[in-house]
């Protein structure tokens, strides 16, 4: 029983999804408080059919709070998550602020649930594209170590928040009306276009989104040696990320073995109908909890039989963010 739950950043795309998921899953709570910057304080949000007024987030907001769900950006988390933890709350933080902090567990319940035990008040929720990838990859990894993974992503607008989803819609309307596409949330046109993820590029040429995939996966797998290369790309899709994943295992693995492991794994739905040409798609993933996995096949470019290819899809706002955080909170509740 979580008792008093605080939601920080309830008006954002992930914040709104927190509310839906807490309600859907009948998350046990006695009291819920909504916190935001002074800009949003005073507005109301609906939760379980009732209107709640958003309170201003201050240093004294967390007195008596048992669980704090943060989704208001790295700056807010950096400042207020330690304050919340000090006040006695357990924080599940959706930002990148604490993910690579050695003192902070980074958890996907299907991967490393045991890591929550060692938390010091803060548990970090991984990056969306990483969460969606590791659910199926770790299911396989447990049976046969993955030595290397090459990932190409097809990431939805939702990963950049509500403004970005609205921008995809507005740009699309404008282009169809023959008007120029206005850019605010994204640096490049997203409608009828795609572009490499617009996070900062490091000296090695990888962008931050790609580096997160490497570092966060290594941390959760407790395997600093797993080799990962990612290319992260934003596509004109609303809210589900897709990923083409090429794996190299320590030992040979057959397509059938991979399929059996994935079919039995929690949080995964295999959608792999070759005759009907029906595989994971964003529109069938949006709003759902599972990571859809399809195109499972022996990699013809690894003749030693150690390669598997697959194509996956997961809802960025749910499993990629809010659902995973609520699942962490459920683990804290001993569920």
Sequence-separated (6 or more) residues with CB below 8 Å from residue 109: 267, 324, 327, 328, 330, 331
Stretch near a second copy under the rule CB under 8 A, chosen from 29-37, 47-55, 145-153, 216-224? 145-153
User: What is the gyration radius of the CA atoms in the chain, in angstroms?
Assistant: 20
**Spatial CB neighbours of 150, under 8 Å, sequence gap ≥ 6:** 228, 229, 230, 245, 246
Nearer to a second copy, 26 or 204 (CB): 204
User: Residue 250, interface with a second copy (CB under 8 A)?
Assistant: no
Does position 140 interact with a second copy (CB under 8 A)? The reply is no
Among 105, 282, 314, 320, binds a second copy (CB under 8 A): 282
- Give the ranges where the chain is alpha helix by DSSP (H): 13-24, 74-86, 128-141, 162-176, 208-221, 255-264, 282-285, 323-332
- Chain centroid to Cα 301, Å, comes to 30
Q: Which residues are CB-contacts of 281 (< 8 A; sequence separation ≥ 6)? A: 242, 292, 313
Q: Which residues contact 203 (CB under 8 A, 6 or more apart)?
A: none
311 binds a second copy (CB under 8 A): yes
Decide if residue 263 touches a second copy (CB under 8 A). no
**One of 71, 104, 127, 242 touching a second copy (CB under 8 A):** 242
Q: Is 292 in the site for a second copy (CB under 8 A)?
A: no
- Spatial separation of the C-alpha atoms in residues 105 and 122, rounded to whole Å: 8
Of 128, 197, 232, 313, which residue is the catalytic one?
A: 128
- Give the SS3 label for residue 161: coil
Give the count of residues interacting with a second copy (CB under 8 A): 58
Name the active-site residue from 119, 197, 232, 241: 241
- Our finding on whether 279 is near a second copy (CB under 8 A) is yes
Q: Is 166 in the site for a second copy (CB under 8 A)?
A: no
DSSP string for 237-288 = -SSEEEEEEEEEESS---HHHHHHHHHHSTTEEE--BTTTTB---HHHHTT-
196-235 footprint of a second copy as x/- string (CB under 8 A): x-x-xx--xxx-------x------------xxx-x-x-x
Site for a second copy in 64-103 (CB under 8 A): none
Q: How far is the CB of 26 from a second copy (least distance, A)?
A: 31
Of residues 96-135, which lie at the interface with a second copy (CB under 8 A)? none
Residue 6 or 258: the one with the smaller Cβ distance to a second copy is 258
Residue in 309, 314, 315, 321 binding a second copy, rule: CB under 8 A: 309
| 278 in active site | no
What is the C-alpha separation between 307 and 45, in angstroms, rounded?
A: 48
189 binds a second copy, rule: CB under 8 A: yes
Count of alpha carbons within 13 angstroms of residue 198, beta-carbon side: 16
Residues 92, 69 contacting (CB under 8 angstroms): yes
52 is known as an active-site residue: no
Which positions are annotated as active-site residues?
Answer: 128, 241
Q: Which residues bind a second copy (CB under 8 A)?
A: 148-150, 152, 154, 168-169, 172-173, 176, 187-189, 192-196, 198, 200-201, 204-206, 214, 227-229, 231, 233, 235-238, 242, 244, 246, 255, 274-275, 277, 279, 281-283, 294-303, 307, 309, 311
């Amino acid at each position: 029983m979580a008792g008093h739950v605080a939601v920080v950043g309830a008006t954002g795309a992930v914040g709104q999804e927190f509310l839906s998921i807490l309600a859907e899953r009948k998350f046990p709570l006695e009291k819920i408080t909504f916190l935001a910057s002074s800009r949003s304080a005073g507005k109301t949000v609906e939760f379980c059919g009732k209107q709640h007024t958003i309170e201003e987030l201050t240093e004294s907001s967390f007195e008596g709070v048992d669980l704090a769900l943060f989704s208001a950006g790295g700056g807010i988390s950096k400042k207020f998550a330690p304050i919340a933890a000090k006040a006695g709350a357990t924080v599940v933080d959706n930002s990148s602020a604490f993910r690579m902090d050695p003192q902070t567990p980074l958890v996907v319940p299907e991967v490393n649930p045991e890591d929550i035990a060692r938390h010091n008040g803060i548990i970090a929720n991984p990056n969306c594209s990483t969460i969606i990838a590791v659910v199926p990859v770790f299911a396989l990894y447990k049976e046969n170590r993955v030595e290397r993974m090459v990932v190409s992503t097809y990431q939805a607008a939702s990963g950049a928040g509500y403004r970005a989803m609205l921008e995809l819609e507005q740009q699309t309307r404008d282009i169809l009306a023959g008007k120029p596409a206005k850019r605010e949330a994204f640096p490049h046109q997203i409608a009828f276009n795609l572009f490499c993820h617009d996070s900062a590029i490091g000296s090695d040429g990888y962008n931050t989104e790609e580096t997160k995939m490497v570092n966060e996966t290594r941390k959760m797998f407790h395997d600093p040696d797993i080799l990962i290369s990612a290319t992260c790309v934003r596509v004109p899709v609303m809210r589900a990320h897709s990923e083409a994943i090429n794996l190299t295992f320590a030992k040979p693995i057959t397509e059938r073995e991979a399929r059996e492991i994935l079919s039995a794994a929690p949080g995964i739905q295999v959608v792999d109908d070759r005759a009907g040409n029906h595989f994971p798609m964003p529109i069938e993933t949006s709003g759902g909890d599972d990571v859809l996995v399809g195109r499972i096949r022996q990699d013809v470019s690894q003749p030693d039989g150690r390669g598997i290819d697959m194509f996956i899809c997961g809802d960025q706002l749910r499993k990629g963010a809010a659902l995973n955080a609520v699942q962490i909170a459920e683990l804290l509740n001993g569920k």
